[in-house]
Amino acid sequence: MANQIFSGRESELLQLDKAFIQLTDTRGTLMDNPGRVILIEGESGVGKSSLMRKFSSLHPQDNTFLQAFTECNSNDRVLAYKPLNAALFRLNELHSHLNRKKESLKSVLSFMQEVSPKWISLIPVFGSITAVTMETAMSLKQHIKDNKKPVINENEIFEAFNAELREKAAERPVILYFDDVQWMDMASAGLLLMLIRSMIADRYRILFVLSSTTGVTGTGMAAEQAVDISLARRIEQYAFDHHQAGVADWFEKISLAPFTVKEIDTFLLTRFPRHAFPGTFPAKLHEVTHGQARFICEIIEMQERRQIIRQTAGVYTLATEDLESLPASVGSAISARIGMLDRKQQRLLAYASVSGHNFEAQMVGRVLNLDELELLDYIDDLSRNQHLLSAGPTRRINDSVVDMYKFIDQFTHRHIYENMDAARRRALHRRIAEVISETYGDLMQTDHELFFHRNRHRWIGAGIMDGITGKVISPEISGNGSGLSQLYMDAASDELNMSGYNQARFAWDEAIVHADLAFEFIGFASLESEGYHELLFEILGGRYLSFDWKGLYTESGSIARQMLDVAGETGLAEMKGQALIRLGRAVMGAGDPQTAQNHFLEALEVTRNCTDVFIKARIYNRLGMVSDAMRRFGEAIDYYKKAAEIHRTPGYEADLASNMLNTGISYRKKGEMKEALASFDEAAALFESGGVQSMLASVWNQQGLLYLQQQDFVQAENCFQKALKVDEATGNGKGKASRLLNLGRLESDRGNERAAIEYYRSSLAFYNLTEDFPSQVNVFTSMAQSWLALNEPAKAEQEISRALGINHKIAQNPNIAHLLSTRGDVFLATGRRQEALEDYRKALETDLASGEQMAQIDDYYKLAQYFMITGDRQAMQENLDSGLRLALTLNSLRDIGRFTAFGEPSSGM
């Protein structure tokens, strides 16, 4: 059936083929063969997937390139990274085969271990792999002990994928197909964008072929927001920005429209070269199918089977009266088609409609009590003869074969499922849940993908979730009140478990989906259920953490207030204290440190009689952060020391180290460098003894900033380089970019502006990948300052324009004063004095309002320079005095030196 769709798609195939030739042309160099992204868009049924598969079939796998085909499924949108995990698995499987290496699974697991000891814990083991294989895989997993304190860095995920793809693309071109990206989970979508940006920046040979359905797909589906809006559109926007900047085009879009009546006529001539069909036949097909290629083929094939389309003497005919026998709709065509199957095949399809893309031969045999060979015969008939199922990749693992089949026709799937009797549907879900539990046993506790699928079947089977909409519902069946309430409690607890699992993998959007579902489930439970309030508090805490990590402080603040209400219901002081801490964090994140301090002080008062002293340590640490933000450094240091006193307990060395690091930062900002260094040294020793290498980089970075402030360039460089090595070893891309930025500033202070610019460009490469807009603005601003120092104001103005172009994407840029000040420098260098003065004054006003004292010193210095140039000596002296006074207060030797070199202070100093 799929091969029949391609009448009228020849030009699209040629477009894809051109990209393939460019990718695999061995006559060019790597730079001549950059990667590309091709997006195939259109409504459901127009042939996007078939176009991808047809193109893939025209270029079968050989030893000159690697390719992997992965489908995204709406049922799996809350399973983080699944499409990319599947693509990586298939690439490694194929790569191992071509290079005659180890068995595919062992090779993958070996790679995972080499990349990072924690990496394997990010990869869900597929439900289609046999139990013995999963036991092997699970034995290699390194579990994360505390989901609230992930010991991995989210950048490891990108670094691991990127390194593996780069290595393979250097050896052979790689083609990655992702079908139906509108259903890709948000974590995979973000990671895919990063991989595309990396491919463009490093110009290695990967062709991404993506298909995306426009609008709402399926019949009877809830109109939900698809990830396509944030993925396909963001890719297009990124490509447009590159095109505007003069970067070579790497993006193409193929838009597939439904067939017109004329195109259907052409299709019929291609499919039936000699036919005598009625002239109204193409129009009738268009009326029934709305031009959807998939269903045109489906109806044509059904008419052939029913002998309505017949061949006589080499000519295909269709009697005029037979037009009336055509199905009135796609739904009736599917019903008629299913009615032509025998009973066991219909049972098989019923199972497939419930199981969807997780349709697995091993499982269906147990559910339907069919002999495996008999079952495979039915599957083969449905796949080859009926064209209703398509065989997926056969995976050979430890000499055993697992046949995974996927139900490729989503419309057929939903038609069967939604028209099935509700009681029968629930019974089949219950049976599937039982078989999954029987098959995998204890692995349910460790394999979260199996756990997720088992629970979905379980809740739908119990009648507390609607299988069609995925919404939590009141059951249509009667049952014991307390037992039913406990069922909702169990479901809520399981969804909370899945939320924590995703949080540990930095898949925040998926974590929110699960936490929201947990919140829905517990909403149907009785308030009198044992542990109700405690579980509700945990669920709200899980939702809070995800929004907090995403920086959505309005939402996290609202959730914290809900937690406060729940704590009030219980009367538990510790619970109320926890809610107040979270509320304070949210308010602090929203930019209101004074209100945040009030919440933390109230939390301290509420918990004064609690036996758990460590909650008090958390509060003291938060109070220290608030005081530091308000520039009350002495007060911040006192709070950090109180937290440290509590944490001087065996087993809390990492917390103590964090307290000492924060103490050192406040000492540095206060200008007490000796005390700052002592605090940093203690923090480093504690992190090192505890094996927390990633935090060592933070300590050395802070020491580097201290030495830079003291103009000790050798020590500063040594600290930044040590931090950089740790970041590279731990895969901390964000930390690495920050160290490169600091090394650039160090070279700028040394007067090596061109070396500084190279460091800035290196840091920008990472910030571009992650769309870290505030950091991009900082880098462009720093580059502008270096170009000004090199007396190239035109290049400086270009960098400032780039910074301003990005700045509008930031809701509240904390570094806007730095940007304004630098733009003032550009204006001054190009003779626009009045504009320069306005920007300098705006920068000072902003820094005074925020309490950024080090930035204020720079503002006063620039204003003094400006008034010296314009001849206003009184204004110059006033700004010199203000800046020098602040530099002396902060003991900033660099600033004291440049103010002193500027001229003598006034007699009042």
* pLDDT tens by residue, 671-696: 888 999 999 999 999 888 877 777 88
Does 107 lie in the same domain as 65?
yes
In the numeric block, which tokens belong to residue 599? 């919440």
The reply to whether 230 falls in a domain is yes
Q: Three-state SS for 179?
A: strand
Q: Are 220 and 246 in contact (CB under 8 A)?
A: no
Q: Which of 335, 369, 398 is the last residue of a domain?
A: 335
The total number of structural domains in the chain stands at: 2
Using 50, 70 and 90 to split pLDDT, how confident is the model at 149? very low
Residue 173 burial (10 A CB sphere; 0-12, 13-18, 19+): buried
Q: Are 732 and 696 in contact (CB under 8 A)?
A: no
Among 56-60, 591-595, 810-814, name the one with the lowest average pLDDT: 810-814
The per-residue pLDDT for 493 is: 93
More confident position, 736 or 186 = 736
Number of H helices and number of E strands within the chain? 39, 12
What is the rounded distance in angstroms from the CA atom of residue 205 to the CA atom of residue 401? 33
How many Cα atoms within 13 Å fall on the side-chain side of residue 780?
A: 24
Place of tokens 């697995």: 360
The reply to whether 449 falls in a domain is no
**Strand ranges (DSSP E) for 375-532?**
390-391, 395-397, 400-402, 405-406
Q: Three-state SS for 147?
A: coil
- Rounded to two decimals, the pTM is 0.70
> What mean pLDDT, rounded, does the chain reach?
78
DSSP 152: S
Q: What is the DSSP string of 318-343?
A: --GGGGGGS-SSHHHHHHHHHHTS-H
More confident position, 859 or 234 = 859
Report for 102-106, 214-218, 377-381: range of highest mean pLDDT: 377-381
What is the rounded distance in angstroms from the CA atom of residue 227 to the CA atom of residue 434? 32
The per-residue pLDDT for 235 is: 82
The per-residue pLDDT for 54 is: 82
The reply to whether 840 falls in a domain is no
Q: Nearest Cα to 510, choosing from 191, 868, 133, 149?
A: 191
Using 50, 70 and 90 to split pLDDT, how confident is the model at 26? low
Does 304 lie in the same domain as 189?
no
The reply to whether 242 falls in a domain is yes
Does 330 lie in the same domain as 206?
no
Residue range 526-581, pLDDT digits in tens: 888 899 999 999 999 999 988 888 778 889 999 999 999 999 999 999 999 999 99
Using 50, 70 and 90 to split pLDDT, how confident is the model at 459? very high
Does 117 lie in the same domain as 134?
yes
Does 129 lie in the same domain as 212?
yes
Measured torsion, CA atoms of residues 581, 587, 588, 589, in degrees rounded to the nearest 10: 110
More confident position, 355 or 861 = 861
- Please list, residue by residue across 357-378, b when 16 or more beta carbons sit within 10 angstroms of its beta carbon and e when fewer do: bbbbbbbbbbbbebeeeebeeb
Q: Which of 239, 256, 273 is the last residue of a domain?
A: 256
More confident position, 186 or 401 = 186
Place of tokens 């890709």: 184
The reply to whether 502 falls in a domain is no
Angle at CA of residue 758, ends 757 and 764, nearest 5° = 85
pLDDT above 90 (res 834): yes
In the numeric block, which tokens belong to residue 886? 């602040």
- What's the residue count for the chain? 909
The per-residue pLDDT for 908 is: 46
Does 241 lie in the same domain as 314?
no
The reply to whether 107 falls in a domain is yes
Residue 48: other Cβ atoms inside 10 A: 26
* Alpha carbon distances (Å) from 651 to 345, 370, 646: 61, 56, 12
In the numeric block, which tokens belong to residue 547? 């929004």
The reply to whether 77 falls in a domain is yes
The per-residue pLDDT for 398 is: 25
In the numeric block, which tokens belong to residue 743? 């090394």
Q: What is the longest distance spanned by two Cα atoms in the chain? A: 115
Does 156 lie in the same domain as 23?
yes
pLDDT above 50 (res 396): no
The per-residue pLDDT for 782 is: 92
The per-residue pLDDT for 95 is: 58
Instruction: Give bridge partners of residue 253 from the DSSP assignment.
Output: 39
Q: Which amino acid is at 128?
A: S
Does 315 lie in the same domain as 173?
no
Find the helix or strand (DSSP H, E) in which 174 lies.
Answer: strand 174-179
Residue range 280-305, pLDDT digits in tens: 889 988 888 888 777 787 788 778 87
The reply to whether 164 falls in a domain is yes
Does 153 lie in the same domain as 39?
yes
Using 50, 70 and 90 to split pLDDT, how confident is the model at 8? low
The per-residue pLDDT for 209 is: 94
The sign of the dihedral angle between the CA atoms of 385, 391, 394, 400 is negative
pLDDT above 80 (res 409): no
Within its chain, how far is the Cα of 289 from the centroid? 37
Domain span at 107: 2-256
Does 249 lie in the same domain as 275?
no
Place of tokens 């002592």: 678
What is the rounded distance in angstroms from the CA atom of residue 33 to the CA atom of residue 243? 18
In the numeric block, which tokens belong to residue 346? 């219909």
Using 50, 70 and 90 to split pLDDT, how confident is the model at 783? very high
The per-residue pLDDT for 809 is: 67
Q: Are 542 and 513 in contact (CB under 8 A)?
A: no
Q: What is the CATH number of the domain that holds 81?
A: 3.40.50.300
Among 164-168, 606-610, 720-724, 805-809, name the one with the lowest average pLDDT: 805-809
Q: Which of 335, 369, 397 is the last residue of a domain?
A: 335
Does 141 lie in the same domain as 217?
yes
What is the rounded distance in angstroms from the CA atom of residue 362 to the CA atom of residue 382? 17
In the numeric block, which tokens belong to residue 480? 């014991």
How many Cα atoms within 13 Å fall on the side-chain side of residue 79?
A: 24
pLDDT above 50 (res 227): no
Q: Nearest Cα to 790, choosing from 745, 754, 739?
A: 754
Residue range 838-884, pLDDT digits in tens: 999 999 998 888 777 888 999 999 999 999 999 999 999 999 999 99
Does 131 lie in the same domain as 39?
yes
More confident position, 145 or 838 = 838
The per-residue pLDDT for 578 is: 94
680-687 LR contacts (CB < 8 Å, sep 24+): 680/706, 682/657, 683/657, 683/658, 684/657, 686/653, 686/654, 686/656, 686/657, 686/660, 687/654, 687/657
Q: Which amino acid is at 232?
A: A
The per-residue pLDDT for 222 is: 33
What is the rounded distance in angstroms from the CA atom of residue 366 to the CA atom of residue 324? 43
Find the helix or strand (DSSP H, E) in which 276 lies.
Answer: strand 275-276
What is the rounded distance in angstroms from the CA atom of residue 745 to the CA atom of residue 751? 10
